[in-house]
Every structure is written in C-alpha cells, then in structure tokens.
C-alpha cells in the first residue's frame, strides 16, 4: 500500500533530518563563528516537524482515527511535540543553545520509533472499546503535548545548570516578580558623556541604561516559560482524563499507576514553580528540580507501562 510506503519513508526521513540537525546545532555551539548554521538548524527542525506531521496525518487517513493508539504513533507524536516546543523556545530565546539540548532528545525518540520498534508494533490496530471516545483525542493529545513542552523546559533547565556550573545566580521570572530589579553593583553611573546621547546628560543625572539579561538568565527564563506552558497543558490533560474516566466508568480518580504518575509530575513541577518564588531557594536549586522533572516525565510516559498494570496498559508491548 502506498500509504505504508510513504510512512516508512517519512519516519526514516525524520530520523535522518534530526540526526543532521543535531550535528548542525552541536557544530554551531562548538564553532559559534561558522555562518549559516543557526538557520540550517532551525530549517532542519521545521522540516523534521513537517515530516512527522505528515506521517501522523497519513496514519490518521489510513486508520480513520486520531493516530495515538500505539507506541509507534505515540513516539512520533512526542517527537513532533518536542520539535514544535523547540521552535517555540528558540523563537522566544533567540538562542541556538536550545537546539543543542532538544535535538538529541527529538532524535532519540524518533530513532526508537523508526529503528528499534519491531515492524509488527507499528501497524495500527483497531481501538479497544474503552478508547472509542472523542475524549481520547482530547486527553491523550494534550497529555503528549504537555510531556513534550515540559521536556523542553526541563532540558533548558539542564542546559542552564551546565552553563552556570560552579556559579551562584539570581533568578528572573516568577509569579511574584523576583528579578526585574537592578543589581546595584551593575548600576551604570558613569558620569562621562557618551557620543550621541549628550542631550540626555547633565552633570546632575547619571546615565541609566537597560541592564540586559545574560545568556544564563535567558535560558533560565525560557525554561521557566516552557514549563509554565507545559504545566497548564498537563493540568488540562489530567482533568480531561479524569472527566473521561468519570463519564466512561464512574470515577474521576482511581489512583491507577499512570494517573498517579501524572499527578507526581504535576506535583514536581508545581514544587518547581513554588521554589522559584522562595527566598533562599532561588538560583540553581529550582533548576535541579526542573531537571529532575525530565526523568519524572519519562517515567510517567513510558516507565509506568513497564508495570503493565492499570487502565493505561493497553497498546504497549511491555
């Protein structure tokens, strides 16, 4: 069938493009002066994103339902989500360091789907009765998007930890608005008039110039913003699952391992968001929590299915 051929072509393409993209980002980080690399990296991510979107669309056409019913589809949806979240984070930060951290993860996920997963696991199978609901699309897709966004946020926190290794730093961005205030040592009080701004200066006023964010502060803030985006998605995904469960079998919460781990993920990132506004906890400590969140998301996404128990155990090979 041509759709199957197309799918095989697309998943291998996505893998190859992501491999190239990752190398471009790494090369760009190692040799910042090389021209064009930034643009090529972004273009690679966009292409991989479109290839995976086409792959999922082809599966949707073929099976007739939203392509999130088995591990293969779910892996490519996740990888697609990571590339999408990457593009958002890159546009927000304007830093190519984002790709250094996100490209290998997107690559790893698509490699697992395209190369490791046995052929028989890729076929789309008919949905079991419990999954025949519009809530499937709502719940599972929002959950996957939240995983992807939170992963990118966590990766940026890890990148922040690497960039600031051995330093102590002040945080910018939290709901109470720590940061935003000038660090006194940095106040530009140079009395020497500068060319072009003479009109501003008199002997009585000090020059006041904006104090820009550092690279570390930018990474940290974008990490915070991505987690801030993933957290509502996770909340909505969990609630959609709860409402679905209540409509389908009468209980919005049953402490099933998967939903418990979704709650654990939610709690860890809630702790991160609160750690940012706690005096004495600012600096690298919240980023460590966010970095831990990366592992927690993975346990929630795949690890729980290793237990093979509960309501979410179908459609997997473990």
Residue 46: which residues within 8 A CB-CB, separation 6 or more? 87
Task: Answer yes or no whether residue 193 interacts with other proteins by CB under 8 A.
Answer: no
Q: Which of 23, 43, 92, 311 binds other proteins (CB under 8 A)?
A: 92
CA distance 188 to 66: 57
> At its nearest, how many Å lie between other proteins and the CB of residue 182?
4
Picking from 288, 262, 292, the residue whose alpha carbon sits closest to that of residue 275 is 288
Which structure tokens are listed for 37? Answer: 């690399």
Contacts 24+ apart (CB under 8 A), 179-183: 179/217, 182/211, 183/211
Site string for other proteins, 38-77 (x = CB under 8 A): ----------------------------------------
CA 36 → CA 17, 24, 100, 247, distances in Å?
17, 10, 16, 53
Task: Answer yes or no whether residue 88 interacts with other proteins by CB under 8 A.
Answer: no
> At its nearest, how many Å lie between other proteins and the CB of residue 283?
8
> At its nearest, how many Å lie between other proteins and the CB of residue 109?
23
Backbone angles phi, psi at 131, to 5 degrees: -90, -5
Q: Which of 4, 30, 128, 295 binds other proteins (CB under 8 A)?
A: 128
How many beta carbons lie within 10 A of that of residue 113, not counting itself?
25
Task: Answer yes or no whether residue 175 interacts with other proteins by CB under 8 A.
Answer: yes
Backbone angles phi, psi at 2, to 5 degrees: -70, -35
Is there a contact between 86 and 21 (Cβ–Cβ < 8 Å)? no
Contacts (CB under 8 A) with other proteins, residues 219-278: 221-222, 224-225, 228-229, 231-232, 235-236, 239, 242-244, 246-253, 255, 257, 260-261, 263-264, 267-268, 270-271, 274-275, 277-278
In the bound state with other proteins, the residue whose beta carbon lies nearer, of 116 and 185, is: 185
How many beta carbons lie within 10 A of that of residue 269, not counting itself?
26
Residues in the interface with other proteins (CB under 8 A) total 91
Q: Which of 87, 217, 287, 290 binds other proteins (CB under 8 A)?
A: 217
Contacts (CB under 8 A) with other proteins, residues 132-161: 132-133, 135
CA distance 51 to 41: 15
In the bound state with other proteins, the residue whose beta carbon lies nearer, of 40 and 277, is: 277
> At its nearest, how many Å lie between other proteins and the CB of residue 248?
5
Q: Which of 1, 116, 120, 129 binds other proteins (CB under 8 A)?
A: 129
> At its nearest, how many Å lie between other proteins and the CB of residue 24?
23
Task: Answer yes or no whether residue 302 interacts with other proteins by CB under 8 A.
Answer: no
- The CA-CA-CA angle for residues 61, 86, 269, to 5°, reads 105
Residue 82: which residues within 8 A CB-CB, separation 6 or more? 102, 105, 106, 109, 148, 151, 152
Q: Which of 3, 206, 295, 306 binds other proteins (CB under 8 A)?
A: 206
In the bound state with other proteins, the residue whose beta carbon lies nearer, of 35 and 180, is: 180
Is there a contact between 301 and 147 (Cβ–Cβ < 8 Å)? yes
Q: Which of 41, 173, 291, 315 binds other proteins (CB under 8 A)?
A: 173
Q: Which of 35, 118, 191, 196 binds other proteins (CB under 8 A)?
A: 196
């Amino acid at each position: 069938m041509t759709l199957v051929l197309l799918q095989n072509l697309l998943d291998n393409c996505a893998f190859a493009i992501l491999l190239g993209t990752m190398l471009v980002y790494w090369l760009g980080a190692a040799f910042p002066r090389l021209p064009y690399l930034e643009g090529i990296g972004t273009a690679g991510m966009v292409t991989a994103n479109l290839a995976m979107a086409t792959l999922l669309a082809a599966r949707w056409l073929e099976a007739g339902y939203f392509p999130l019913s088995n591990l293969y589809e779910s892996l490519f949806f996740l990888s697609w989500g990571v590339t999408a979240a990457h593009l958002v984070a890159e546009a927000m930060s304007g830093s190519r360091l984002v790709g250094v951290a996100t490209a290998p993860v997107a690559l790893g996920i698509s490699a697992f789907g395209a190369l490791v997963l046995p052929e028989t696991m890729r076929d789309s199978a008919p949905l079991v009765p419990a999954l025949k609901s519009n809530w499937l699309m709502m719940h599972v897709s929002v959950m996957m998007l939240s995983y992807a966004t939170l992963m990118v946020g966590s990766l940026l926190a890890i990148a922040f930890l690497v960039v600031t290794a051995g330093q102590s730093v002040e945080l910018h961005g939290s709901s109470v608005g720590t940061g935003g205030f000038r660090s006194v040592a940095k106040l530009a009080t140079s009395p020497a008039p500068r060319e072009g701004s003479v009109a501003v200066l008199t002997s009585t006023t000090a020059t006041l110039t904006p104090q820009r964010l550092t690279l570390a502060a930018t990474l940290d803030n974008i990490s915070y913003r991505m987690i801030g985006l993933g957290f509502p998605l996770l909340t909505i995904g969990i609630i959609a699952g709860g409402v679905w469960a209540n409509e389908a079998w009468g209980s919005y919460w049953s402490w099933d391992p998967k939903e418990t781990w979704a709650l654990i993920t939610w709690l860890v990132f809630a702790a991160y968001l609160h750690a940012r506004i706690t005096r004495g906890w600012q600096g690298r400590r919240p980023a460590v929590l966010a970095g831990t969140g990366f592992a927690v998301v993975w346990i929630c996404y795949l690890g729980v299915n290793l237990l093979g128990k509960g309501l979410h155990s179908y459609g997997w090979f473990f």
